[in-house]
């Protein structure tokens, strides 16, 4: 099997000596999608920053078979698109267009290719009409989508997102989720860290539960069905799964566990023998 990401025995300590990651090991296949869950201070952002060499701990990190070491960083960063939790960390140019074009231009592409990739990324994130605006003048939600555009313009094989929908209004959140689904279907490997457990079933096939060490890893529905395991890490089950798990415990439901609105709707119709 071809792996997009391979992490083995990764350890990292903050400058003060506090351990952030301890012996973290996992693999993610090419084209796969992983939801990274854990409480505050669990090391989620720290782990993500190792995937393109912004942080370097002990152990091994490989991207598409190549180790993330100094001599490979340019190669790795062409293939791993990183979207930070705070979008202002990525928006540094006078105009949004220049921010989005910066990555492709830095790869040495000719100007025609730079314009093509930048325009595609802006259109994909719904930001094309704001291309000449200063990033400072954008709303926070617009800045989140702008930061996503700066990563997408590089056409990454792997997209890494830290809290991609935090502080977004419902419409912007739906747009980001739809875009992530489209990228996933096109073969992009996606890794997202989030506190929103309801987002994970929509985008992730697997879940890594992290609290400085790997607490658990497995299929998304398998991990998200474990109420006790999640609660031990300060997390909750997704809304629909939690509701139907309670109904099951009361003997009111015996079907498969739903995790999305569509799955819950189907479960209700089956349980009530609703017929069109």
Q: What is the CATH number of the domain that holds 115?
A: 3.40.50.300
Asked whether residue 267 is assigned to any structural domain, the reply reads no
3-state secondary structure of 9: strand
Asked whether residue 107 is assigned to any structural domain, the reply reads yes
Q: Return d(Cα 213, Cα 224) in angstroms, integer.
A: 18
pLDDT of residue 18: 87
4: Cα separation from own chain's centroid? 14
**Mean pLDDT for back-to-back runs of 10 residues, the chain (276 residues):** 94 90 97 96 95 95 96 93 91 94 89 94 92 93 92 95 88 88 93 94 96 97 94 94 91 90 89 61
Q: Which of 177, 226, 224, 221 is nearest to 203 (CA)?
A: 177
Asked whether residue 252 is assigned to any structural domain, the reply reads no
pLDDT of residue 223: 96
Q: Return d(Cα 219, Cα 271) in angstroms, integer.
A: 25
Asked whether residue 179 is assigned to any structural domain, the reply reads yes
pLDDT of residue 228: 94
Q: Return d(Cα 44, Cα 162) in angstroms, integer.
A: 8
Total domains present in the chain: 1
Q: Which of 231, 237, 240, 227 is nearest to 268 (CA)?
A: 240
Asked whether residue 150 is assigned to any structural domain, the reply reads yes
Q: Return d(Cα 27, Cα 218) in angstroms, integer.
A: 11
Query: In this structure, what token pair is assigned to residue 23?
Result: 């012996």
Q: Return d(Cα 263, Cα 274) in angstroms, integer.
A: 15
DSSP 256: P
- What domain range is 207 assigned to? 3-237
Q: Return d(Cα 39, Cα 234) in angstroms, integer.
A: 6
Asked whether residue 251 is assigned to any structural domain, the reply reads no
Please give the model's pTM, rounded to 2 decimal places.
Answer: 0.91
Pairing of strands 3-13, 80-83: unpaired
Asked whether residue 275 is assigned to any structural domain, the reply reads no
Asked whether residue 258 is assigned to any structural domain, the reply reads no
Q: Return d(Cα 27, Cα 60) in angstroms, integer.
A: 12
């Amino acid at each position: 099997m071809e792996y997009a990401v391979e992490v083995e025995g990764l350890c990292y300590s903050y400058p003060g000596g506090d351990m952030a990651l301890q012996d973290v090991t996992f693999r993610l296949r090419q084209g796969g999608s992983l939801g990274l869950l854990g409480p505050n201070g669990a090391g989620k952002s720290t782990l993500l920053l190792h995937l393109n060499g912004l942080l370097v701990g002990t152990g091994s990190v490989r991207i598409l078979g190549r180790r993330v070491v100094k001599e490979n960083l340019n190669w790795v960063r062409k293939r791993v698109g990183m979207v930070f939790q705070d979008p202002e960390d990525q928006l540094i140019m006078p105009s949004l267009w220049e921010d989005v074009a910066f990555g492709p231009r830095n790869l040495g592409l000719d100007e025609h290719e730079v314009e093509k990739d930048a325009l595609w990324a802006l259109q994909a994130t719904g930001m094309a009409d704001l291309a000449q605006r200063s990033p400072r003048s954008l709303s926070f939600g617009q800045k989140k989508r702008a930061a996503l555009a700066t990563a997408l313009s590089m056409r990454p094989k792997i997209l890494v997102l830290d809290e991609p929908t935090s502080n977004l209004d419902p419409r912007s959140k739906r747009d980001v989720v739809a875009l992530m689904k489209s990228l996933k279907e096109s073969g992009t490997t996606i890794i997202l860290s989030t506190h929103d457990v309801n987002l994970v079933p929509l985008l992730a096939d697997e879940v890594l539960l992290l609290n400085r060490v790997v607490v658990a890893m497995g299929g998304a529905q398998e991990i998200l069905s474990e109420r006790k395991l999640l609660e031990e890490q300060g997390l909750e089950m997704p809304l629909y799964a939690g509701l139907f798990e309670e109904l099951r415990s009361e003997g009111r439901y015996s079907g498969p566990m739903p995790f999305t609105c569509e799955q819950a709707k189907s479960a209700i119709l089956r349980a009530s023998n609703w017929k069109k």
